[in-house]
């Protein structure tokens, strides 16, 4: 399962159709990052660059120049190099980029200083996401100054610099059918990974051993990398929202919270499940868990086209706060607890985020300063949680140190939403039955 070359070409065309004549877009690839001597971090292509190119090498730059007679799409990339390829692997080179990725023109990246100022000359507008790469920001300023220095010889310097993010992010926010298929599969693989962890779990295992089980499953299913650092938090570690140490033993009687998702062809899954290490929820664990599940289901029921982004979050706040009052964790009235924000002692994050090539994907949450209505093709997470700090002396001791989050990925459809991650159980009896049968 892969995005076809036609799609990448169509995306470039669609972006250019939103750019005026005499404009140019500059989109850089990601760079390799050094880890320590002679060792680099695994390469992950920049999502926007990949979205438009399908080209998976560092040290590259895409230019889009709508209406340019001699070629609208230009790629700069690494040259072929026999020695470097023996050491570090295959490079497409400019000829390969044109033949295999359908660019109109390609050059060696080393020629960019010679070629780019001439391409910028006469353009009125540059589309570029300034502020993400200081070195490139400076390089672009340098190229502009070169043109400005030649105005008396007839050069015409661009007058407008426009953030590219907005146009591109809106495209990435609405997923096409091929993207939906990939995300459905990323959701399935991620879900099965969580099932494996539930099946393996028992007291005494280390948190990182559940992580290893999940990552092994992802890779065996064709998704080599996770979409983000896996969180496996036993007991009160679940109350640390970005806990990734994962180095503690799992204790009998505790819950374990796992937040893990695979990355498949640059698309993310993002699932959280919380379950008992010994396979059986205690009463207080079940009470809090049932409340989070109720909120999560209410939000999923609500999510459909036209519903405002914030309304989904507000739904989670209302259900959770009401339940916290019923369980005695909050003492105020519903209105007071929501207005004063005291529920935030237990629910301190938002209901979710856009999901796509980045786990916290691009796309505005407000349009003209209003919360945005959901639209078919958007993918988002629904992930309410409750976290009772181990040192919270204001609550009954039975609640202390319990952290619960339940997270699924949903695709907004014409009439409602599709849960992409339904293949891992979240009902208490289903989880207990799965763990008992393992
Ligand atoms: N795994 C990151 C998140 O749930 O937002
Ligand atoms: Mn998550
Ligand atoms: Mn998430």
- CA atoms of 426 and 438, how far apart (whole Å): 16
Output the CA–CA distances (angstroms, integers) from residue 109 to 62, 72, 90, 142, 203, in the order listed. 10, 18, 16, 17, 54
**Residue 269 corresponds to which tokens in the numbers above?**
């899954």
Ligand 1: nearest atom to the Cα of 272: 4
**Cα of 408 to ligand 2 centre, how many Å?**
8
Which among 130, 122, 134 has a CA at the least distance from the CA of 67? 122
Q: What CATH number is associated with residue 328?
A: 3.90.230.10
Task: Provide the pLDDT for residue 306.
Answer: 98
Do 144 and 279 belong to one domain? no
Do 137 and 178 belong to one domain? no
Strand partners, 260: 271
**Cα of 223 to ligand 3 centre, how many Å?**
18
Surrounding ion ligand 3 within 5 Å at CB are 270, 381
Ligand 1: nearest atom to the Cα of 359: 2
Do 405 and 364 belong to one domain? yes
**Residue 297 corresponds to which tokens in the numbers above?**
């289901």
- CB-ligand 1 contact for 228 (6 Å cutoff): yes
pLDDT tens digits, residue range 104-137?
A: 999 999 999 999 999 999 999 999 999 999 999 9
Which of 228, 242, 269, 354 has most ligand 1 atoms within 8 Å of CB, for mutation?
Answer: 228
Do 59 and 101 belong to one domain? yes
- CB-ligand 1 contact for 243 (6 Å cutoff): no
Domain boundary, last residue among 171, 194, 224: 171
Q: What is the rounded radius of gyration, in angstroms, for the C-alpha atoms of the chain?
A: 25
Q: What is the mean pLDDT of the chain?
A: 96
| Diameter over CA atoms, the chain | 81
Which residue's alpha carbon is nearest to atom 3 within ligand 1? 270
- CA atoms of 171 and 127, how far apart (whole Å): 15
Domain boundary, last residue among 154, 171, 188: 171
Which residue's alpha carbon is nearest to atom 4 within ligand 1? 270
- CA atoms of 381 and 376, how far apart (whole Å): 15
Do 110 and 193 belong to one domain? no
Q: What CATH number is associated with residue 14?
A: 3.40.350.10
Which of 194, 232, 270, 356 has most ligand 1 atoms within 8 Å of CB, for mutation?
Answer: 270
- CB-ligand 1 contact for 179 (6 Å cutoff): no
Do residues 413 and 257 make contact, with C-beta atoms less than 8 angstroms apart? no
Do 359 and 397 belong to one domain? yes
* Residue 165 or residue 276, greater confidence: 276
Do 302 and 352 belong to one domain? yes
Which among 34, 53, 51 has a CA at the least distance from the CA of 42? 34
Instruction: Answer yes or no: is pLDDT of 181 > 90.
Output: yes
Choice among 64-68, 101-105, 146-150, 225-229 with the minimum mean pLDDT: 146-150
Task: Provide the pLDDT for residue 47.
Answer: 98
Instruction: Answer yes or no: is pLDDT of 307 > 90.
Output: yes
Do 82 and 228 belong to one domain? no
- CA atoms of 383 and 122, how far apart (whole Å): 49
Contacts (Cβ under 8 Å, ≥6 apart) of 44:
30, 225
**Residue 331 corresponds to which tokens in the numbers above?**
């003492």
- CA atoms of 60 and 82, how far apart (whole Å): 19
Domain count, the chain: 2
User: Predicted confidence band at 391 (pLDDT cuts at 50, 70, 90)?
Assistant: very high
Domain boundary, last residue among 117, 150, 171: 171
Question: Residue 418: how many CB atoms within 10 A of its CB?
Answer: 14
Which of 242, 263, 353 has most ligand 1 atoms within 8 Å of CB, for mutation?
Answer: 353
**Residue 300 corresponds to which tokens in the numbers above?**
């999923």
Ligand 1: nearest atom to the Cα of 259: 1
- CB-ligand 1 contact for 361 (6 Å cutoff): no
- CA atoms of 240 and 352, how far apart (whole Å): 17
Which ligand ends up closest to the CA of 409? 3
Do 150 and 289 belong to one domain? no
Catalytic residues: 38, 242, 259, 270, 349, 353, 360, 383, 387, 405, 407
pLDDT tens digits, residue range 20-51?
A: 999 999 999 999 999 999 999 999 999 999 99
Ligand 1: nearest atom to the Cα of 231: 1
Task: Provide the pLDDT for residue 109.
Answer: 97
Do 297 and 226 belong to one domain? yes
Looking up tokens 């706040």, which residue turns up? 317
First-to-last C-alpha distance (Å) of the chain: 31
Do 327 and 188 belong to one domain? yes
Instruction: Answer yes or no: is pLDDT of 1 > 90.
Output: no
Output the CA–CA distances (angstroms, integers) from residue 277 to 49, 293, 366, in the order listed. 42, 18, 40
Helices (H) and strands (E) in the chain, counts: 13, 21
Do residues 63 and 74 make contact, with C-beta atoms less than 8 angstroms apart? yes
Span 206-226, mean pLDDT?
A: 98
- Percent of the chain exceeding pLDDT 90 equals 96
Do 164 and 109 belong to one domain? yes
Can you spell out the DSSP letters for 52-106? HH----SS-EEEE-TT-TT-SEEEEEPPP-HHHHHHH----HHHHHHHHH--SEE
Q: Can you give the length of the chain in residues? A: 438
Span 4-22, mean pLDDT?
A: 96
Span 403-414, mean pLDDT?
A: 98
Ligand 1: nearest atom to the Cα of 227: 1
Instruction: Answer yes or no: is pLDDT of 267 > 90.
Output: yes
In terms of residue numbers, what domain contains 302? 174-437
């Amino acid at each position: 399962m892969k995005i076809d070359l036609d799609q990448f070409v169509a995306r470039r065309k669609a972006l250019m159709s939103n750019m005026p004549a005499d404009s140019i877009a500059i989109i850089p690839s990601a760079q390799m990052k050094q880890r320590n001597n002679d060792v680099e971090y695994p390469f992950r292509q920049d999502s926007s660059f990949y979205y438009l190119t399908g080209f998976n090498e560092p040290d590259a730059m895409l230019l889009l120049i709508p209406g340019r007679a001699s070629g609208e799409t230009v790629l700069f990339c690494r040259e072929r190099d026999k020695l470097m390829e023996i050491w570090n692997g295959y490079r497409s080179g400019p000829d390969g980029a044109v033949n295999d990725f359908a660019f109109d023109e390609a050059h060696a990246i080393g020629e960019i200083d010679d070629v780019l100022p001439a391409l910028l000359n006469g353009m009125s507008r540059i589309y570029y996401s300034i502020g993400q790469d200081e070195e490139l920001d400076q390089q672009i300023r340098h190229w502009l100054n070169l043109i400005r220095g030649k105005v008396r010889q007839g050069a015409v310097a661009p007058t407008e610099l426009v953030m590219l993010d907005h146009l591109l992010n809106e495209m990435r926010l609405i997923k096409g059918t091929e993207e939906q298929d990939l995300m459905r599969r990323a959701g399935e693989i991620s879900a099965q990974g969580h099932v494996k962890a539930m099946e393996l779990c028992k007291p005494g295992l280390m948190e990182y051993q559940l992580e290893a089980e999940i990552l092994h499953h992802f890779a065996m299913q064709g998704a080599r990398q996770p979409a983000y650092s896996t969180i496996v938090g036993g007991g009160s570690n679940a109350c640390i929202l970005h806990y990734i140490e994962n180095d503690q033993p799992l204790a009998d009687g505790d819950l374990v919270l796992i937040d893990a998702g695979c990355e498949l062809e640059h698309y993310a899954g993002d699932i959280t499940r919380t379950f008992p290490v010994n396979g059986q929820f205690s009463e207080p664990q079940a009470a809090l868990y049932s409340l989070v599940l109720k909120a999560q289901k209410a939000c999923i029921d609500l999510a459909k086209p036209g519903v405002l982004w914030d309304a989904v979050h507000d739904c989670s706040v209302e259900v959770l706060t009401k339940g916290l009052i019923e369980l005695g964790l909050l003492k105020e009235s519903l209105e007071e607890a929501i207005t004063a924000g005291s529920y935030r002692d237990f629910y301190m994050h938002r209901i979710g985020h856009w999901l796509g090539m980045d786990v916290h994907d691009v796309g505005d949450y407000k349009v003209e300063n209003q919360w945005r209505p959901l639209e078919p093709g958007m993918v988002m997470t629904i992930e309410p949680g409750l976290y009772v700090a181990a040192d919270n002396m204001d609550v009954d001791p039975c609640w202390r140190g319990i952290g619960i989050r339940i997270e699924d990925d949903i695709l907004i459809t014409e009439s409602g939403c599709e849960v992409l991650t339904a293949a891992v159980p979240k009902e208490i009896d289903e989880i207990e039955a799965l763990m008992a049968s393992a």
